[in-house]
Structure 1
Amino acid sequence: MSDPSPPQAKKEAIKQISSIWLVPVIAVGIGIWMLFQFITSQGPEIVLKIDTAEGIEVGKTEIKALNVKVGVVTDVILNEDYSAIEVTAQMDKDAARMLKVDTLFWVVKPRIGKSGVSGLDTLLSGAYIQLQPGKSDEEQRTFDVLDIPPVAPPDAKGLRLVLTHNEAGKLGIGDPVLYEGFTVGRVENVSFDTESKKAHYQLFIFEPYNSLIRKKTRFWLTSGVDLQMSAEGFSLKIGSIESLITGGVSFRVPRGREAGELITKQKSKFRLYNNLKQVRERFYEDYLEYVMLFNESVRGLQVGAPVEYRGIRIGTVNKVPLDMLHSDKNFSNKEIPVLVRIELDRVKSHVHYDNLDMLKSSLKEEFEYGLRASLKTANLLTGALLIDVSLFADEKRYIRQRYGDYDVFPTKAGGFAQIQKEIASMLKKLNELPVEDTLLTLNKTLETSQQTLRAAEKVATELNSLLAQKDTKAIPGEIRGSLQQIQDTLDSYGTDGTTYQNLDQALIQFEQVMTELQPVLRQINEKPNSLIFSGEKVADPTPVGGRQ
């Protein structure tokens, strides 16, 4: 038996392109579409200049506007001179319309600032860069990142003002702007003009408080605690809690002054004063300047000290001391010049003058009548001085003088200087006294007294020695015995004593004898010879009325 023939394979023509290739083709197409979509969705690339890259991470740190992601950081490098960090960021397509000249960027991170605590949500998510869209028509791709968030956006409703001051560092960004203690704005920018050499502080006053800004509005620095020592004593003022920590600036139209028209122009300029007292004094714009020459010390006299007429303020000390015009080498003959202002408005509140010429003419006449200025102690605790003006009728006639470009206001030594002068005169008289001769005499007297004391001491010593002897100690006993005998003797002469009774009896007998001797004595007195010759016989007495 023969085997059958093996089966034959069928031959067919193979297709040139297999359907399996559709998968990569579709994948490529999708990739191209995705690439196209990515390219077309990409926004512009921007460069941000920042002082430090703290908290910034490539591919992680986002750029947000109103909490919506609009870009991401793609690169962080140092600039060419190593003065700053350049951060490159890829923005979304929709963010291109936000990138204008006035667009602002700042880093949002946890911070404790003057306006409170902010950025606490970044403790977990990390820091991000905040974008504030600009409104300008001009586009920009390079920006400087702010150190702190802006006070207000460029299109915020309110009023921006610029304050000027001779010194920088008076205010900081974010410091409050206060009206009667209420915060109505913030300091949003600080700069220094090298040409004018003045600091500029830009404020933003929120609406509707911008209506408080008038032409006569004045701004002054507000510290948390304001303690001043002046001729008027101590002055202590405490501001708000925020100003107590950070300070700030206050404003208002001074009381008693016209407000003027409303200020609506952006970035109008105002002067920044150091305190409210300086604001009040600067309103006295009409004044006469005089130089007062003092022979006494001006220690304690400060700029701003009052010039008073019998307790009524009429002016202000402007400069202490004024520049010395003389070139004398001998300081002992120099007078200290002080520049003062006699302010018209202060004087007008008590005596009416229409203008400065009338005031000047009146003062000239008063100088002739003895109007003089003198230094006076205003505060014993601080040692501050003021200038007191008063009339002295006994003053010599005034001769008008000039000191440089100023008229001289005549002066007189003050009360304290007079006391010093009197004390000096008294000390001079004391020095002229013969103190040396008096002291010599006193020394001699003291020496004599010392000798006397030494002699007395010697006598006392000898007396103590004498009293210490045995015989001396026995003397008091003998004296007591003698005194007792004397006392006994005296007692014997008392009414109860024998001697007294005998003497009394003898006196009685003597009295009887004298009574019996009286007729004899009378007879002898009448007839001295009666003792030799017998006397006449005495006739018998005849009774009256009897018969013979």
Structure 2
Amino acid sequence: MSEQNTQVENLRKVRFNSIWLVPLIALMVAGWMLYQNWSSQGPIITLVAANADGLEMGKTKLKSRNVDVGRVIDIRLSDDYENAIIKIRMNQGTQQMLRSDAKFWVVKPRVGKEGVSGLGTLLSGAYIDMTPGVKGRLQTDFTLLNQPPLSTENEGVRLVLSSTEGSKLDVGALVHFRGYEVGYVEKVGFDTDRGTITYRVVIRSPYDALVNSDVQFWMTPGLSFKSSASGFEVRLDSLETLISGGISFGLPQGRTAGKPVEDMTSFRLYSSKESATNNMYNEFINYVFLFDSNVSGLTPGAAVEFRGVRIGTVLDVPFSGIPMDSLTSLDTPLIPVRARIEPQRLNSLNTSGAMSLSKWNAFIDDRINNGVRATLKIGNYLNAAKVINIDFVNNPPPVRWKEFSGYKVFPTAPDAFANIESKVGGILDNLSQLPLNSTFEQLNRTMNEANETLHQLQAVSKSVAQLLNNADTQQIPTELIATINELNVTLETYQANGQIGRPLRENMVSLGRALNELQPLLRQLRENPNTLIFDTKPRGDVQPKAAR
């Protein structure tokens, strides 16, 4: 009993001490801080990158429009060691930014064709920038872009261009419409099945309304130099296209706008505007031209003209589609050239009453029967570029072939230079057939006979003088003496040193010397007829001089 009373008294002696409130308050504050920190944190996202260059765990920030929205908390390698895995703790209230169309990239100093960017990170260090997502579902796994996106605008239209010719363009190359920037190249790829380079381009709004089903796209190099039958052409575009090239598009002349296009519509990308123009004619008639003259200077893409008006395009020089055994079976060696007649160059592309191809075939066949022939003509004498000229010919050669190896044959005639050469050759042949040796011998005999005649005239003149000095002769009437004196004066002019005899003798000597000097010239013209037109000595190549 006494023990129980003792315990009760001890319990009554226990009192509450105020110092115990300090750890209790500290525990409550720590709990509140933990709760605040937990409640203020956003989700953790994962970025997959090729490398983590310039990023540091715990220091690198994530920004959007230059506002901090997160921080890197972990950087490690992927399980296959191929990529870097970057963990980022987002701030509270940023969950709606993490949609599937959000983009992330590293901001650091860059120097490229777009200019210099990211200089501010030289002191602060690299950071990750992002474009908030607005479409798609919420997610936490993203891919870090290797370079900043070209545009954050999603409005416009995306197209796929395929090219089989020309040089490759880079991402960021500009797209122009009549010289005005309207878009850019977003992605470059290669189609292994078709062997073509593919470009995904973005045409920004409102310029996407300029794109329709009938537009054509072509490359616009910054600096181009072209030599053709039309002459020499040097073109310099803007500084941006000079560095990286570009793409232009437009509606062909004479064609109305087509239907609007949807995203990812495919178009062909041509190497030049001229190539795009030549390929817009979808109705044509293929011919094979068999030329028996030199086709040097005739290149694919050259014009087929009728009296200076272009009506077609040369396709292959020479045409390799014809078997060589078919050519060797001909009487004379010929060079095949494939070209096409494009009636749409004469008809409007949108004219409903234009002649059909069948009518054009019949029309051309009728003109061929009436003497239309094809010849080679020099379109530019500076570079010797040639074109195919179609026109009526006097006394046209007969049509020998209607069809050859499955292609219709357009009859040809010798070109103008071939006619000149044949005429010069005929003249030289006629000159070579002249009896020059017998002519020279006859001329020498004539000159000898003339000398003898002059000597005889001199002797007669002396005899007349003696006769006049004779006393008996002086008794002749005065009129007869005057007549004899005039005859004597006339005879003296025909002497070797007389007014007529001397020039005649000098002219005969000069003629003989000129004929002797003419023999080497005639021999050279007979051996090389083309010396009348071209130089006999080939011009040497210009040797470039070294820079000082």
Q: TM-score, normalised by structure 1?
A: 0.68
Given the superposition, is the C-alpha separation of residues 69 and 429 from structure 1 closer, same or farther in structure 2, using an over 3 Å criterion?
A: farther
Q: Deviations over 1:472-518 (max 9, x none)?
A: xxxxxxxxxxxxxxxxxxxxxxxxxxxxxxxxxxxxxxxxxxxxxxx
Q: Deviations over 1:122-177 (max 9, x none)?
A: 232222111112233333333222232222336x3333333222258533222222
The within-5 A match list for 1:86-165 is: 86-153=85-152, 156-165=154-163
- Alpha carbons 2:101, 2:136 under 8 Å: kept: no
Q: Could you tell me how far apart the structure 2 residues matched to 1:74 and 1:432 are?
A: 104
Residue 434 of structure 1 deviates from its aligned partner by 12
Q: Could you tell me how far apart the structure 2 residues matched to 1:417 and 1:137 are?
A: 73
Structure 2 counterpart of 1:301: 298
Q: Could you tell me how far apart the structure 2 residues matched to 1:276 and 1:409 are?
A: 29
Structure 2 counterpart of 1:381: 382
Greater shift in the superposed pair: 106-115 or 19-28: 19-28
The within-5 A match list for 1:18-57 is: 19-57=18-56
Residue 357 (structure 1) aligned with residue 358 (structure 2): yes
SS of the residue aligned with 1:162? strand
Q: Amino acid of the residue matched to residue 387 of structure 2?
A: L
Residue 289 (structure 1) aligned with residue 286 (structure 2): yes
Q: Could you tell me which of 269, 273, 277 is aligned with 1:272?
A: 269
Q: Amino acid of the residue matched to residue 241 of structure 2?
A: S
Q: Amino acid of the residue matched to residue 395 of structure 1?
A: P
Given the superposition, is the C-alpha separation of residues 197 and 99 from structure 1 closer, same or farther in structure 2, using an over 3 Å criterion?
A: farther
Greater shift in the superposed pair: 421-430 or 404-413: 421-430
Structure 1 counterpart of 2:203: 205
Greater shift in the superposed pair: 361-370 or 251-260: 251-260
Q: Amino acid of the residue matched to residue 364 of structure 1?
A: D
Given the superposition, is the C-alpha separation of residues 330 and 164 from structure 1 closer, same or farther in structure 2, using an over 3 Å criterion?
A: closer
Structure 2 counterpart of 1:188: 186
Given the superposition, is the C-alpha separation of residues 127 and 417 from structure 1 closer, same or farther in structure 2, using an over 3 Å criterion?
A: farther
- Alpha carbons 1:369, 1:392 under 8 Å: kept: no
Given the superposition, is the C-alpha separation of residues 127 and 423 from structure 1 closer, same or farther in structure 2, using an over 3 Å criterion?
A: farther
Residue 280 of structure 1 deviates from its aligned partner by 1.9
Structure 2 counterpart of 1:516: none
Residue 278 of structure 1 deviates from its aligned partner by 1.7
Q: Deviations over 1:510-542 (max 9, x none)?
A: xxxxxxxxxxxxxxxxxxxxxxxxxxxxxxxxx
Structure 2 counterpart of 1:71: 70
Q: Could you tell me how far apart the structure 2 residues matched to 1:80 and 1:240 are?
A: 48
- Alpha carbons 1:368, 1:397 under 8 Å: kept: no
Q: Could you tell me how far apart the structure 2 residues matched to 1:201 and 1:167 are?
A: 13
Q: Could you tell me how far apart the structure 2 residues matched to 1:424 and 1:140 are?
A: 87
Residue 361 of structure 1 deviates from its aligned partner by 0.6
SS of the residue aligned with 2:29? helix
Residue 37 of structure 1 deviates from its aligned partner by 3.4
Structure 2 counterpart of 1:515: none
Given the superposition, is the C-alpha separation of residues 193 and 41 from structure 1 closer, same or farther in structure 2, using an over 3 Å criterion?
A: farther
Residue 356 of structure 1 deviates from its aligned partner by 1.4
Structure showing greater Rg: 1
Q: Deviations over 1:86-136 (max 9, x none)?
A: 333222343332222222111112223444433232232222111112233
- Alpha carbons 1:294, 1:411 under 8 Å: kept: yes
Q: Amino acid of the residue matched to residue 207 of structure 1?
A: S
Residue 29 of structure 1 deviates from its aligned partner by 3.3
Residue 222 of structure 1 deviates from its aligned partner by 1.4
The within-5 A match list for 1:351-500 is: 354-418=355-419
Given the superposition, is the C-alpha separation of residues 40 and 337 from structure 1 closer, same or farther in structure 2, using an over 3 Å criterion?
A: farther
Given the superposition, is the C-alpha separation of residues 360 and 168 from structure 1 closer, same or farther in structure 2, using an over 3 Å criterion?
A: closer
Q: Amino acid of the residue matched to residue 294 of structure 1?
A: F
Q: Amino acid of the residue matched to residue 241 of structure 1?
A: L
Residue 245 (structure 1) aligned with residue 243 (structure 2): yes
Residue 389 of structure 1 deviates from its aligned partner by 1.4
Structure 1 counterpart of 2:342: 343
- Alpha carbons 1:374, 1:414 under 8 Å: kept: yes
Structure 2 counterpart of 1:223: 221
Q: Amino acid of the residue matched to residue 155 of structure 2?
A: K
Q: Deviations over 1:155-204 (max 9, x none)?
A: x3333333222258533222222222222222222222333433332222
Q: Deviations over 1:281-312 (max 9, x none)?
A: 22222211111122334332211100112222
Given the superposition, is the C-alpha separation of residues 285 and 24 from structure 1 closer, same or farther in structure 2, using an over 3 Å criterion?
A: same
Q: TM-score, normalised by structure 2?
A: 0.68
Given the superposition, is the C-alpha separation of residues 291 and 95 from structure 1 closer, same or farther in structure 2, using an over 3 Å criterion?
A: same
- Alpha carbons 2:165, 2:271 under 8 Å: kept: no
Unaligned runs of 5+ in 2: 1-9, 438-548
Q: Could you tell me how far apart the structure 2 residues matched to 1:348 and 1:137 are?
A: 51
Greater shift in the superposed pair: 385-394 or 23-32: 23-32
Structure 1 counterpart of 2:503: none
Q: Amino acid of the residue matched to residue 253 of structure 1?
A: L
Q: Deviations over 1:439-492 (max 9, x none)?
A: xxxxxxxxxxxxxxxxxxxxxxxxxxxxxxxxxxxxxxxxxxxxxxxxxxxxxx
Q: Amino acid of the residue matched to residue 234 of structure 1?
A: F
SS of the residue aligned with 2:325? coil
SS of the residue aligned with 1:266? coil
Greater shift in the superposed pair: 164-173 or 382-391: 164-173
Given the superposition, is the C-alpha separation of residues 87 and 392 from structure 1 closer, same or farther in structure 2, using an over 3 Å criterion?
A: same
- Alpha carbons 1:369, 1:393 under 8 Å: kept: no
SS of the residue aligned with 1:33? helix
Aligned length: 424
Residue 67 of structure 1 deviates from its aligned partner by 1.5
Q: Amino acid of the residue matched to residue 249 of structure 2?
A: F
